[in-house]
A and B are shown apart, each in its own frame.
Chain A
Amino acid sequence: MNRPAGIGLRTPHLAEIDCDRPPAGLLEIHAENYLSASPARETVERLRSDYDLSVHAVGLSLGSAEGLDEGHLARVAALVKHLEPAWVSDHLSWSTAGGRYFNDLLPLPYTEEALDVVVRNVERVQETLGRPISIENPSCYLGFAHSTLSEPEFLSALAHRSGCGLLLDANNIAVTAHNLRLDPQDWLAGLPSLAITQYHLAGHAVNDADGEAILIDDHGSRVSEGVWALYAEVVKRFGMRPTLIEWDTDIPPLSVLLDEARRADRIALSEESRARAA
Protein backbone atom coordinates (compact mmCIF):
# COMPACT_ATOMS: atom_id res chain seq x y z
CA MET A 1 0.00 0.00 0.00
CA ASN A 2 1.52 3.28 -1.05
CA ARG A 3 1.36 6.25 1.27
CA PRO A 4 -0.81 9.13 0.01
CA ALA A 5 0.94 12.48 -0.42
CA GLY A 6 1.03 14.84 2.53
CA ILE A 7 1.18 18.56 3.08
CA GLY A 8 3.33 21.10 4.83
CA LEU A 9 1.56 22.10 8.04
CA ARG A 10 1.02 25.85 8.09
CA THR A 11 -0.32 28.03 10.90
CA PRO A 12 -3.56 29.13 9.16
CA HIS A 13 -4.55 25.44 8.76
CA LEU A 14 -3.64 24.18 12.23
CA ALA A 15 -7.06 24.51 13.84
CA GLU A 16 -8.89 22.98 10.86
CA ILE A 17 -6.56 20.00 10.65
CA ASP A 18 -6.73 19.53 14.41
CA CYS A 19 -10.52 19.54 14.23
CA ASP A 20 -11.24 17.61 10.99
CA ARG A 21 -8.18 15.33 10.67
CA PRO A 22 -8.35 15.19 6.86
CA PRO A 23 -6.58 12.28 5.16
CA ALA A 24 -2.92 13.06 4.42
CA GLY A 25 0.01 10.66 4.14
CA LEU A 26 2.21 12.86 6.29
CA LEU A 27 2.45 16.31 7.79
CA GLU A 28 5.65 18.29 7.64
CA ILE A 29 6.59 21.07 10.05
CA HIS A 30 9.42 23.56 9.80
CA ALA A 31 11.60 22.79 12.81
CA GLU A 32 12.36 26.47 13.48
CA ASN A 33 8.66 27.27 13.98
CA TYR A 34 8.16 24.67 16.70
CA LEU A 35 11.19 24.93 18.97
CA SER A 36 9.24 26.61 21.76
CA ALA A 37 6.36 25.09 23.70
CA SER A 38 3.88 27.34 21.87
CA PRO A 39 0.15 26.65 21.40
CA ALA A 40 1.03 25.62 17.80
CA ARG A 41 3.41 22.95 19.09
CA GLU A 42 0.74 21.63 21.42
CA THR A 43 -1.48 21.16 18.36
CA VAL A 44 1.30 19.26 16.57
CA GLU A 45 1.71 17.04 19.62
CA ARG A 46 -1.99 16.14 19.35
CA LEU A 47 -1.72 15.49 15.59
CA ARG A 48 1.07 12.94 16.14
CA SER A 49 -1.49 10.27 16.95
CA ASP A 50 -3.08 10.51 13.50
CA TYR A 51 -0.23 11.47 11.16
CA ASP A 52 3.36 10.60 10.43
CA LEU A 53 5.47 13.70 10.89
CA SER A 54 8.38 15.09 8.99
CA VAL A 55 10.58 17.66 10.74
CA HIS A 56 12.05 19.87 8.03
CA ALA A 57 14.72 22.28 9.26
CA VAL A 58 15.56 25.42 7.33
CA GLY A 59 18.21 26.89 9.61
CA LEU A 60 20.89 24.32 10.39
CA SER A 61 23.09 25.95 7.74
CA LEU A 62 24.76 22.69 6.77
CA GLY A 63 27.02 24.47 4.28
CA SER A 64 28.57 26.89 6.78
CA ALA A 65 32.37 26.79 6.62
CA GLU A 66 32.49 28.00 10.23
CA GLY A 67 30.59 24.90 11.41
CA LEU A 68 27.19 24.52 12.99
CA ASP A 69 25.44 26.65 15.59
CA GLU A 70 25.55 24.06 18.38
CA GLY A 71 22.89 25.87 20.40
CA HIS A 72 20.44 25.71 17.52
CA LEU A 73 21.34 22.10 16.76
CA ALA A 74 20.62 21.20 20.40
CA ARG A 75 17.16 22.81 20.15
CA VAL A 76 16.37 20.95 16.91
CA ALA A 77 17.62 17.72 18.50
CA ALA A 78 15.32 18.27 21.50
CA LEU A 79 12.34 18.78 19.17
CA VAL A 80 13.20 15.62 17.20
CA LYS A 81 13.53 13.65 20.43
CA HIS A 82 10.21 15.05 21.63
CA LEU A 83 8.17 14.46 18.45
CA GLU A 84 9.94 11.32 17.16
CA PRO A 85 9.14 12.18 13.54
CA ALA A 86 9.37 9.63 10.72
CA TRP A 87 11.73 11.92 8.76
CA VAL A 88 14.18 14.74 9.48
CA SER A 89 15.64 16.93 6.76
CA ASP A 90 17.37 20.20 5.85
CA HIS A 91 18.89 21.69 2.71
CA LEU A 92 22.08 21.71 0.69
CA SER A 93 22.75 25.36 1.46
CA TRP A 94 24.00 27.74 4.11
CA SER A 95 22.30 30.61 5.95
CA THR A 96 24.62 31.66 8.77
CA ALA A 97 27.98 33.45 8.58
CA GLY A 98 29.81 35.50 11.19
CA GLY A 99 27.04 34.93 13.71
CA ARG A 100 24.35 36.43 11.47
CA TYR A 101 21.41 34.45 10.12
CA PHE A 102 20.22 35.40 6.63
CA ASN A 103 16.93 33.47 6.42
CA ASP A 104 17.59 32.14 2.94
CA LEU A 105 18.91 28.94 1.41
CA LEU A 106 22.15 30.39 0.13
CA PRO A 107 24.11 28.68 -2.64
CA LEU A 108 27.34 26.77 -2.24
CA PRO A 109 30.15 26.43 -4.73
CA TYR A 110 30.22 22.75 -5.60
CA THR A 111 33.87 22.10 -4.78
CA GLU A 112 35.72 19.38 -2.86
CA GLU A 113 36.29 21.88 -0.05
CA ALA A 114 32.55 22.60 0.25
CA LEU A 115 31.80 18.89 0.07
CA ASP A 116 34.14 18.26 3.03
CA VAL A 117 32.36 21.04 4.98
CA VAL A 118 28.85 19.72 4.28
CA VAL A 119 29.83 16.10 4.98
CA ARG A 120 31.34 17.17 8.32
CA ASN A 121 28.26 19.20 9.26
CA VAL A 122 25.77 16.52 8.19
CA GLU A 123 27.73 13.92 10.15
CA ARG A 124 27.65 16.20 13.21
CA VAL A 125 23.85 16.55 12.92
CA GLN A 126 23.33 12.82 12.42
CA GLU A 127 25.59 12.02 15.37
CA THR A 128 23.65 14.49 17.56
CA LEU A 129 20.23 13.21 16.48
CA GLY A 130 21.31 9.57 16.47
CA ARG A 131 19.65 9.04 13.09
CA PRO A 132 20.24 9.82 9.42
CA ILE A 133 18.74 12.95 7.92
CA SER A 134 17.78 13.76 4.34
CA ILE A 135 19.23 16.65 2.37
CA GLU A 136 17.10 18.61 -0.08
CA ASN A 137 18.35 20.11 -3.34
CA PRO A 138 17.88 23.90 -3.15
CA SER A 139 16.47 26.31 -5.72
CA CYS A 140 19.46 28.13 -7.20
CA TYR A 141 19.57 31.57 -8.78
CA LEU A 142 23.28 31.47 -9.49
CA GLY A 143 26.18 29.08 -9.96
CA PHE A 144 29.80 29.69 -9.00
CA ALA A 145 32.28 29.66 -11.85
CA HIS A 146 34.81 27.69 -9.79
CA SER A 147 32.46 24.77 -9.03
CA THR A 148 34.10 21.51 -10.05
CA LEU A 149 31.13 19.21 -9.40
CA SER A 150 27.58 19.32 -10.68
CA GLU A 151 24.80 19.54 -8.08
CA PRO A 152 23.76 15.87 -8.54
CA GLU A 153 27.42 14.81 -8.27
CA PHE A 154 27.76 16.83 -5.09
CA LEU A 155 24.55 15.35 -3.62
CA SER A 156 25.55 11.79 -4.58
CA ALA A 157 28.99 12.16 -3.00
CA LEU A 158 27.39 13.68 0.10
CA ALA A 159 24.94 10.77 0.44
CA HIS A 160 27.73 8.25 -0.13
CA ARG A 161 30.15 9.78 2.38
CA SER A 162 27.74 10.81 5.16
CA GLY A 163 25.07 8.15 4.79
CA CYS A 164 22.38 10.83 4.56
CA GLY A 165 19.27 10.45 2.43
CA LEU A 166 18.27 12.77 -0.39
CA LEU A 167 15.01 14.72 -0.47
CA LEU A 168 14.26 15.56 -4.09
CA ASP A 169 12.26 18.73 -4.58
CA ALA A 170 10.91 18.57 -8.14
CA ASN A 171 10.07 22.28 -8.12
CA ASN A 172 13.60 23.15 -7.03
CA ILE A 173 15.02 20.97 -9.83
CA ALA A 174 12.84 22.84 -12.35
CA VAL A 175 13.73 26.26 -10.89
CA THR A 176 17.47 25.55 -10.79
CA ALA A 177 17.48 23.96 -14.23
CA HIS A 178 15.71 26.96 -15.76
CA ASN A 179 17.81 29.56 -13.96
CA LEU A 180 21.17 27.86 -14.56
CA ARG A 181 20.36 26.60 -18.07
CA LEU A 182 20.59 22.92 -17.12
CA ASP A 183 18.69 19.94 -18.49
CA PRO A 184 16.48 18.44 -15.73
CA GLN A 185 16.84 14.98 -17.32
CA ASP A 186 20.63 15.17 -17.04
CA TRP A 187 20.22 16.42 -13.51
CA LEU A 188 18.09 13.39 -12.54
CA ALA A 189 20.36 10.94 -14.32
CA GLY A 190 23.19 11.63 -11.92
CA LEU A 191 21.42 10.61 -8.71
CA PRO A 192 21.61 7.37 -6.70
CA SER A 193 18.04 6.02 -6.48
CA LEU A 194 18.65 4.16 -3.23
CA ALA A 195 19.54 7.32 -1.31
CA ILE A 196 16.30 9.11 -2.25
CA THR A 197 13.90 9.19 0.70
CA GLN A 198 11.24 11.82 -0.06
CA TYR A 199 9.84 14.14 -2.71
CA HIS A 200 8.69 17.74 -2.36
CA LEU A 201 6.39 19.66 -4.71
CA ALA A 202 5.55 23.37 -4.69
CA GLY A 203 4.72 26.32 -6.88
CA HIS A 204 7.12 28.98 -8.14
CA ALA A 205 6.85 32.52 -9.50
CA VAL A 206 8.29 33.88 -12.74
CA ASN A 207 10.14 37.17 -12.22
CA ASP A 208 12.04 39.51 -14.47
CA ALA A 209 15.81 39.80 -14.10
CA ASP A 210 17.19 42.40 -16.48
CA GLY A 211 14.67 41.40 -19.15
CA GLU A 212 15.14 37.63 -18.70
CA ALA A 213 12.70 35.32 -16.93
CA ILE A 214 14.04 33.96 -13.66
CA LEU A 215 12.04 31.41 -11.67
CA ILE A 216 11.61 32.16 -7.98
CA ASP A 217 10.87 29.35 -5.53
CA ASP A 218 8.23 31.24 -3.55
CA HIS A 219 5.90 28.34 -2.63
CA GLY A 220 3.06 30.70 -3.37
CA SER A 221 0.93 28.98 -6.00
CA ARG A 222 -0.20 25.62 -7.32
CA VAL A 223 2.45 23.27 -8.70
CA SER A 224 3.15 24.27 -12.31
CA GLU A 225 2.34 21.93 -15.20
CA GLY A 226 6.05 21.66 -16.00
CA VAL A 227 6.81 20.54 -12.44
CA TRP A 228 3.97 17.98 -12.51
CA ALA A 229 5.53 16.54 -15.68
CA LEU A 230 8.92 16.48 -14.00
CA TYR A 231 7.40 14.78 -10.95
CA ALA A 232 5.98 12.05 -13.22
CA GLU A 233 9.49 11.65 -14.64
CA VAL A 234 10.97 11.45 -11.14
CA VAL A 235 8.49 8.72 -10.08
CA LYS A 236 9.08 6.85 -13.32
CA ARG A 237 12.83 6.92 -12.76
CA PHE A 238 13.10 6.33 -9.00
CA GLY A 239 9.70 4.93 -7.96
CA MET A 240 7.28 6.23 -5.34
CA ARG A 241 8.46 7.97 -2.17
CA PRO A 242 6.65 9.86 0.60
CA THR A 243 5.61 13.06 -1.19
CA LEU A 244 4.64 16.44 0.12
CA ILE A 245 2.99 19.65 -1.12
CA GLU A 246 4.59 22.82 0.26
CA TRP A 247 2.90 26.23 0.29
CA ASP A 248 4.37 29.15 2.26
CA THR A 249 3.23 32.48 0.82
CA ASP A 250 -0.34 33.56 -0.05
CA ILE A 251 -1.49 30.41 1.70
CA PRO A 252 -4.83 29.21 0.24
CA PRO A 253 -7.60 27.22 1.98
CA LEU A 254 -6.54 23.79 3.22
CA SER A 255 -8.71 22.14 0.55
CA VAL A 256 -6.41 23.52 -2.17
CA LEU A 257 -3.35 21.88 -0.61
CA LEU A 258 -5.20 18.60 -0.16
CA ASP A 259 -6.35 18.83 -3.77
CA GLU A 260 -2.73 19.20 -4.92
CA ALA A 261 -1.76 16.23 -2.77
CA ARG A 262 -4.44 14.08 -4.44
CA ARG A 263 -3.13 15.13 -7.85
CA ALA A 264 0.35 13.97 -6.78
CA ASP A 265 -1.21 10.63 -5.78
CA ARG A 266 -2.88 10.22 -9.17
CA ILE A 267 0.35 10.97 -11.04
CA ALA A 268 2.42 8.64 -8.86
CA LEU A 269 -0.08 5.77 -9.14
CA SER A 270 -0.39 6.15 -12.89
CA GLU A 271 3.40 6.22 -13.34
CA GLU A 272 3.79 3.20 -11.12
CA SER A 273 1.11 1.13 -12.86
CA ARG A 274 2.65 2.11 -16.20
CA ALA A 275 6.05 0.92 -14.93
CA ARG A 276 4.51 -2.38 -13.74
CA ALA A 277 2.81 -2.93 -17.08
CA ALA A 278 6.02 -2.26 -18.99
Chain B
Amino acid sequence: MPGLRDLQAAFAAHLSGVDRADLVALVAGDSIPAAARLDVYRHHVLESLTAALAATFSTVQALVGQEFFRRLARDFVRGCLPTQPVLAEYGAAFSAFIDGYAAVRNLPYLTDIARLDWALAVACQAPLGRCLTVADMSVVPAERLPSMSIVMPQGTALIGSPYPLDAIWQASQPDAAEGTVDLNSGPCRLLVLRRRHDAAFTTLGAGEEAFLASLIAEGTLEEAAAAALGREAGFDLSNSFARLMALEAFAALREPAP
Protein backbone atom coordinates (compact mmCIF):
# COMPACT_ATOMS: atom_id res chain seq x y z
CA MET B 1 0.00 0.00 0.00
CA PRO B 2 1.27 3.51 -0.74
CA GLY B 3 2.05 5.88 2.10
CA LEU B 4 -0.34 8.78 2.65
CA ARG B 5 1.93 11.26 0.90
CA ASP B 6 2.06 9.13 -2.27
CA LEU B 7 -1.68 8.51 -2.16
CA GLN B 8 -2.34 12.24 -1.91
CA ALA B 9 0.05 12.95 -4.79
CA ALA B 10 -1.82 10.40 -6.93
CA PHE B 11 -5.18 11.88 -5.88
CA ALA B 12 -3.91 15.37 -6.71
CA ALA B 13 -2.87 14.16 -10.16
CA HIS B 14 -6.33 12.63 -10.63
CA LEU B 15 -7.97 15.94 -9.69
CA SER B 16 -5.76 17.74 -12.21
CA GLY B 17 -7.16 15.53 -14.95
CA VAL B 18 -4.58 12.70 -15.05
CA ASP B 19 -6.19 9.24 -14.88
CA ARG B 20 -4.31 7.13 -12.34
CA ALA B 21 -4.94 3.39 -12.49
CA ASP B 22 -2.94 2.95 -9.26
CA LEU B 23 -5.37 5.26 -7.44
CA VAL B 24 -8.45 3.54 -8.89
CA ALA B 25 -7.04 0.23 -7.58
CA LEU B 26 -6.97 1.63 -4.02
CA VAL B 27 -10.64 2.61 -3.98
CA ALA B 28 -13.23 0.13 -2.78
CA GLY B 29 -15.68 -0.28 -5.65
CA ASP B 30 -19.03 -2.07 -5.78
CA SER B 31 -22.07 -1.41 -7.92
CA ILE B 32 -20.67 2.12 -8.20
CA PRO B 33 -17.27 1.64 -9.84
CA ALA B 34 -14.19 3.13 -8.16
CA ALA B 35 -13.54 5.42 -11.15
CA ALA B 36 -17.07 6.90 -10.92
CA ARG B 37 -16.55 7.53 -7.20
CA LEU B 38 -13.25 9.31 -7.88
CA ASP B 39 -14.91 11.40 -10.58
CA VAL B 40 -17.29 12.92 -8.00
CA TYR B 41 -14.27 14.69 -6.50
CA ARG B 42 -12.75 15.72 -9.83
CA HIS B 43 -16.08 17.16 -10.90
CA HIS B 44 -16.59 19.05 -7.64
CA VAL B 45 -13.12 20.62 -7.69
CA LEU B 46 -13.65 21.91 -11.25
CA GLU B 47 -17.20 23.09 -10.61
CA SER B 48 -16.51 24.82 -7.30
CA LEU B 49 -13.42 26.63 -8.59
CA THR B 50 -15.35 27.66 -11.71
CA ALA B 51 -18.05 29.08 -9.43
CA ALA B 52 -15.40 30.94 -7.41
CA LEU B 53 -14.03 32.51 -10.61
CA ALA B 54 -17.57 33.41 -11.73
CA ALA B 55 -18.10 35.24 -8.44
CA THR B 56 -14.90 37.25 -8.83
CA PHE B 57 -15.14 37.79 -12.60
CA SER B 58 -18.86 38.41 -12.81
CA THR B 59 -18.54 41.03 -15.57
CA VAL B 60 -16.48 38.66 -17.72
CA GLN B 61 -19.19 36.03 -17.23
CA ALA B 62 -21.94 38.51 -18.10
CA LEU B 63 -20.13 39.37 -21.33
CA VAL B 64 -19.39 35.85 -22.56
CA GLY B 65 -22.41 34.05 -21.07
CA GLN B 66 -22.54 31.35 -18.43
CA GLU B 67 -21.89 28.40 -20.74
CA PHE B 68 -18.83 29.87 -22.41
CA PHE B 69 -17.51 31.14 -19.08
CA ARG B 70 -17.64 27.61 -17.71
CA ARG B 71 -15.45 26.40 -20.56
CA LEU B 72 -13.03 29.29 -20.16
CA ALA B 73 -12.83 28.89 -16.37
CA ARG B 74 -12.41 25.12 -16.50
CA ASP B 75 -9.55 25.47 -18.98
CA PHE B 76 -7.94 27.98 -16.61
CA VAL B 77 -8.52 25.87 -13.48
CA ARG B 78 -6.93 22.78 -15.07
CA GLY B 79 -3.67 24.62 -15.62
CA CYS B 80 -3.72 26.99 -12.67
CA LEU B 81 -5.12 25.55 -9.46
CA PRO B 82 -5.19 27.75 -6.37
CA THR B 83 -2.09 27.68 -4.19
CA GLN B 84 -4.00 28.63 -1.03
CA PRO B 85 -7.54 28.20 0.33
CA VAL B 86 -8.93 31.76 0.14
CA LEU B 87 -11.08 31.70 -3.00
CA ALA B 88 -11.50 35.49 -3.10
CA GLU B 89 -7.74 35.60 -3.67
CA TYR B 90 -7.84 33.07 -6.53
CA GLY B 91 -7.66 34.29 -10.11
CA ALA B 92 -4.73 36.73 -10.22
CA ALA B 93 -3.58 35.07 -13.46
CA PHE B 94 -7.03 34.84 -15.06
CA SER B 95 -6.79 38.05 -17.10
CA ALA B 96 -3.42 36.97 -18.56
CA PHE B 97 -4.96 33.58 -19.38
CA ILE B 98 -7.87 35.29 -21.17
CA ASP B 99 -5.35 37.39 -23.09
CA GLY B 100 -3.92 34.22 -24.62
CA TYR B 101 -7.24 32.40 -25.10
CA ALA B 102 -7.83 32.05 -28.83
CA ALA B 103 -11.62 31.68 -28.59
CA VAL B 104 -12.07 35.22 -27.23
CA ARG B 105 -9.88 37.09 -29.73
CA ASN B 106 -13.07 38.72 -31.08
CA LEU B 107 -13.60 40.38 -27.68
CA PRO B 108 -10.38 42.41 -27.41
CA TYR B 109 -11.61 44.29 -24.31
CA LEU B 110 -12.24 41.11 -22.28
CA THR B 111 -8.73 41.00 -20.79
CA ASP B 112 -9.10 44.56 -19.50
CA ILE B 113 -12.57 43.80 -18.09
CA ALA B 114 -11.03 40.83 -16.26
CA ARG B 115 -8.34 43.16 -14.87
CA LEU B 116 -11.08 45.50 -13.68
CA ASP B 117 -13.09 42.67 -12.06
CA TRP B 118 -9.91 41.49 -10.33
CA ALA B 119 -8.97 44.99 -9.13
CA LEU B 120 -12.48 45.46 -7.69
CA ALA B 121 -12.25 42.07 -5.92
CA VAL B 122 -8.84 42.93 -4.47
CA ALA B 123 -10.05 46.35 -3.31
CA CYS B 124 -13.07 44.75 -1.67
CA GLN B 125 -10.76 42.60 0.47
CA ALA B 126 -8.58 45.56 1.49
CA PRO B 127 -8.95 47.10 4.95
CA LEU B 128 -10.76 50.42 5.10
CA GLY B 129 -8.27 52.84 6.59
CA ARG B 130 -8.56 56.52 7.40
CA CYS B 131 -8.19 58.98 4.56
CA LEU B 132 -6.34 62.24 4.14
CA THR B 133 -8.46 65.21 5.21
CA VAL B 134 -8.35 68.95 4.70
CA ALA B 135 -7.39 69.24 8.38
CA ASP B 136 -4.33 67.02 7.77
CA MET B 137 -3.32 69.27 4.89
CA SER B 138 -3.84 72.50 6.79
CA VAL B 139 -1.14 71.75 9.37
CA VAL B 140 1.57 71.22 6.73
CA PRO B 141 3.41 74.38 5.58
CA ALA B 142 2.68 74.83 1.87
CA GLU B 143 6.37 75.01 0.95
CA ARG B 144 6.93 71.46 2.28
CA LEU B 145 4.17 69.84 0.22
CA PRO B 146 6.09 69.45 -3.10
CA SER B 147 8.73 67.22 -1.48
CA MET B 148 6.14 65.03 0.25
CA SER B 149 4.52 61.94 -1.22
CA ILE B 150 1.18 60.26 -0.60
CA VAL B 151 0.32 57.00 1.09
CA MET B 152 -2.38 55.42 -1.08
CA PRO B 153 -5.23 53.46 0.53
CA GLN B 154 -4.84 49.68 0.36
CA GLY B 155 -6.62 48.16 -2.61
CA THR B 156 -6.10 51.20 -4.86
CA ALA B 157 -5.49 50.32 -8.53
CA LEU B 158 -5.30 52.10 -11.87
CA ILE B 159 -6.81 50.33 -14.86
CA GLY B 160 -6.22 51.78 -18.30
CA SER B 161 -7.62 50.47 -21.56
CA PRO B 162 -8.04 51.51 -25.19
CA TYR B 163 -11.72 50.47 -24.77
CA PRO B 164 -14.53 52.19 -22.83
CA LEU B 165 -14.38 49.77 -19.89
CA ASP B 166 -16.66 51.90 -17.74
CA ALA B 167 -19.47 51.81 -20.32
CA ILE B 168 -18.93 48.09 -20.99
CA TRP B 169 -18.97 47.37 -17.26
CA GLN B 170 -22.14 49.43 -16.69
CA ALA B 171 -23.91 47.76 -19.61
CA SER B 172 -23.04 44.33 -18.16
CA GLN B 173 -24.60 44.88 -14.76
CA PRO B 174 -27.77 42.91 -14.00
CA ASP B 175 -29.87 46.10 -13.72
CA ALA B 176 -28.42 47.82 -16.83
CA ALA B 177 -30.76 49.49 -19.29
CA GLU B 178 -30.82 48.19 -22.87
CA GLY B 179 -28.35 49.97 -25.10
CA THR B 180 -25.20 49.71 -27.14
CA VAL B 181 -21.63 50.63 -26.30
CA ASP B 182 -19.46 52.35 -28.89
CA LEU B 183 -16.19 50.45 -28.67
CA ASN B 184 -14.45 53.19 -30.60
CA SER B 185 -15.33 55.95 -28.17
CA GLY B 186 -11.72 56.19 -27.05
CA PRO B 187 -9.53 55.01 -24.20
CA CYS B 188 -10.54 55.02 -20.58
CA ARG B 189 -8.61 55.36 -17.34
CA LEU B 190 -10.13 54.10 -14.12
CA LEU B 191 -9.23 54.46 -10.48
CA VAL B 192 -10.40 51.51 -8.35
CA LEU B 193 -10.95 52.22 -4.67
CA ARG B 194 -12.24 50.39 -1.61
CA ARG B 195 -15.55 52.00 -0.55
CA ARG B 196 -17.27 51.64 2.80
CA HIS B 197 -19.52 48.75 1.71
CA ASP B 198 -17.76 47.45 -1.39
CA ALA B 199 -15.30 48.63 -4.04
CA ALA B 200 -15.93 50.99 -6.93
CA PHE B 201 -14.19 52.82 -9.76
CA THR B 202 -14.18 56.34 -11.06
CA THR B 203 -12.98 57.65 -14.42
CA LEU B 204 -9.89 59.81 -14.60
CA GLY B 205 -8.52 62.40 -16.98
CA ALA B 206 -5.19 61.67 -18.66
CA GLY B 207 -3.36 64.08 -16.34
CA GLU B 208 -4.99 62.62 -13.25
CA GLU B 209 -3.95 59.14 -14.32
CA ALA B 210 -0.33 60.22 -14.73
CA PHE B 211 -0.49 62.07 -11.40
CA LEU B 212 -1.79 58.99 -9.55
CA ALA B 213 0.56 56.58 -11.32
CA SER B 214 3.46 58.69 -10.13
CA LEU B 215 2.09 58.79 -6.56
CA ILE B 216 1.49 55.03 -6.53
CA ALA B 217 5.14 54.63 -7.55
CA GLU B 218 5.93 56.75 -4.45
CA GLY B 219 6.88 59.83 -6.42
CA THR B 220 6.74 63.19 -4.62
CA LEU B 221 3.85 65.58 -5.23
CA GLU B 222 6.20 67.72 -7.32
CA GLU B 223 7.18 64.76 -9.50
CA ALA B 224 3.56 63.64 -9.80
CA ALA B 225 2.45 67.13 -10.86
CA ALA B 226 5.23 67.26 -13.46
CA ALA B 227 4.15 63.85 -14.80
CA ALA B 228 0.55 65.05 -15.02
CA LEU B 229 1.51 68.25 -16.84
CA GLY B 230 3.72 66.24 -19.17
CA ARG B 231 0.70 64.15 -20.10
CA GLU B 232 -1.96 66.85 -20.17
CA ALA B 233 -0.83 70.42 -20.75
CA GLY B 234 -3.93 71.95 -19.16
CA PHE B 235 -3.80 69.77 -16.02
CA ASP B 236 -5.29 71.71 -13.09
CA LEU B 237 -3.41 70.43 -10.04
CA SER B 238 -5.44 72.05 -7.28
CA ASN B 239 -8.75 71.12 -8.86
CA SER B 240 -7.78 67.50 -9.40
CA PHE B 241 -6.17 67.20 -5.99
CA ALA B 242 -9.36 68.46 -4.33
CA ARG B 243 -11.50 66.11 -6.39
CA LEU B 244 -9.34 63.08 -5.52
CA MET B 245 -9.30 64.07 -1.85
CA ALA B 246 -13.09 64.29 -1.86
CA LEU B 247 -13.13 60.77 -3.35
CA GLU B 248 -11.02 59.66 -0.35
CA ALA B 249 -8.36 58.50 -2.80
CA PHE B 250 -5.48 59.40 -0.46
CA ALA B 251 -4.65 57.77 2.88
CA ALA B 252 -2.01 60.14 4.27
CA LEU B 253 0.90 62.42 3.52
CA ARG B 254 4.33 60.87 3.69
CA GLU B 255 7.41 62.84 4.79
CA PRO B 256 10.30 62.84 2.31
CA ALA B 257 12.94 60.20 2.95
CA PRO B 258 15.80 61.78 4.96
Contacts and interface: CB of A to CB of B under 8 A. Distances in A.
Contacts of B44: 104
B4 A210 contact: no
Interface residues of A, number: 54
Interface stretch (B23-31, B160-168, B249-257): B23-31
A101 B48 contact: no
B3 to A, nearest CB: 7
B246 interface: no
A235 interface: no
Contacts of B30: 181
Interface string B4-37: 1101110110011000000000111011111011
A98 interface: yes
Given A36-B88, A146-B26, A101 B82 contact: yes
Nearest to A15: B197
B86 A35 contact: yes
A111 B5 CA distance: 13
A77 interface: no
A113 B3 contact: yes
Given A37-B126, A143-B27, A97 B32 contact: no
Contacts of A107: 41
Nearest to A64: B8
B85 A58 contact: yes
Interface in B109-128: 124-128
Given A100-B12, A100-B82, A103-B45, A144 B128 contact: no
Interface in A94-138: 94-104, 106-109, 111, 113-114, 117
Interface in A175-215: 179-181, 207, 209-210, 212, 214
Nearest to A103: B48
Given A142-B28, A145-B28, A101 B5 contact: no
Nearest to B80: A100
B201 to A, nearest CB: 16
B131 interface: no
B4 to A, nearest CB: 4
B12 A59 contact: no
B124 A106 contact: no
B104 interface: no
A72 interface: yes
Contact of A216 (B3, B40, B81): B40
8 contacts: A32-B85, A102-B15, A103-B85, A142-B34, A181-B30, A210-B32, A214-B40, A216-B40
Interface of A: 32-33, 35-39, 42, 58-61, 63-66, 69, 71-72, 75, 94-104, 106-109, 111, 113-114, 117, 141-146, 179-181, 207, 209-210, 212, 214, 216
